[in-house]
Structure 1
Amino acid sequence: MGKLLVGIMLWLTGAAAVWAQGVPDAVLKRLKAAPEPYLELAADLIHGFGGAQGIDRAGIARFVALERAEARASALRRVFLADLDFDNAVSREEIAQVAAAASAAMRGRLWKLHAAADADGDGVATAVEIDGFAKSAALRAFSVADEAEVMSVLAFDSDANGWVDLEEVKAAVAALGI
């Protein structure tokens, strides 16, 4: 069935309005302003984390987990770069040693990073504090709003089989008049 015909059928059945209810307002606003980036995101999700039948909630959850894990690992690496004595903690003295070898711009970032990781401000960012810092960094890098945006792809499951393929997303976007 052609995309245009699917779009017309969706529009006539009111499915577009039903789907729009499952899509966050911020996503609808971005879709209306520029649908291409959302369609690219949907394609990347479906092709990268889905399968032949499309993507389901578990596939999107894997994507979210990987995005956050990457951000967490990056934050851990930045902090542990200064763990010179391998004790899983970073002291002010260690930061000072690393900062002495860094550029002027990097020195400021190192001290700021250490202050953010040292939650209790005692001068030592412990493993527990660093872990909390890294988890927070992961949520800042891929927020709850970001998660809601990628999960919104599931709102375009026109046949309610739990899987969304790219044709369903394209047809729904067309049916929404975008």
Structure 2
Amino acid sequence: MKLLIIEDDEVFANTVKRRLEKYDFSCWHASNANDALLACHRYLPDYILLDMKLEHESGLQLITPLRKIRPNSRIILLTGFASIATAVDAIKLGADDYLTKPADTSTLLAALNDKKIPAEIPQAEDVLSAEQAEWQHIQQALKFNNGNISATARQLSMHRRTLQRKLQKRPAALKND
């Protein structure tokens, strides 16, 4: 089973890659639209995990060309900013499923295999609390903005002081990391 992960966040992509390789997926990673299309031609993936928001591009714009290259591949759109409108757009453009980040391993596997989410309890290592997910999202945005608090606050549509308060409160489960 060949899987192409199209994601501009290297850490997230590598985490997903490691998790899914345990389930016999051969994984490749592309971080932008051009690399994604080249990788799709080269590796002919059976499955594609596509991030909604690539650095300067929209994952929605990639669905149609990916579908033309691999009409039978299963395309799953991942996003940190879920909305009904974008979910509908993604499905209309040809995505097979739409998941919000962070998605645990069992949710990803269920979506990739076109099955309902299993009733079993996900492994603790795969589950993030809302507080932990928010912390990781803030850290990613902060990294993208080279540590600039004001730019990060603007990107997150958040007041600078609110962001500073959130940065002072590290989620309990991450304090020992």
Q: Which has the larger radius of gyration?
A: 1
Q: Which has the higher contact order (CA 8 A, sep 6+)?
A: 1
Higher strand share: 2
TM-score > 0.5 by shorter chain: no
Q: TM-score, normalised by structure 1?
A: 0.23
- Name the one with the larger helix percent: 1
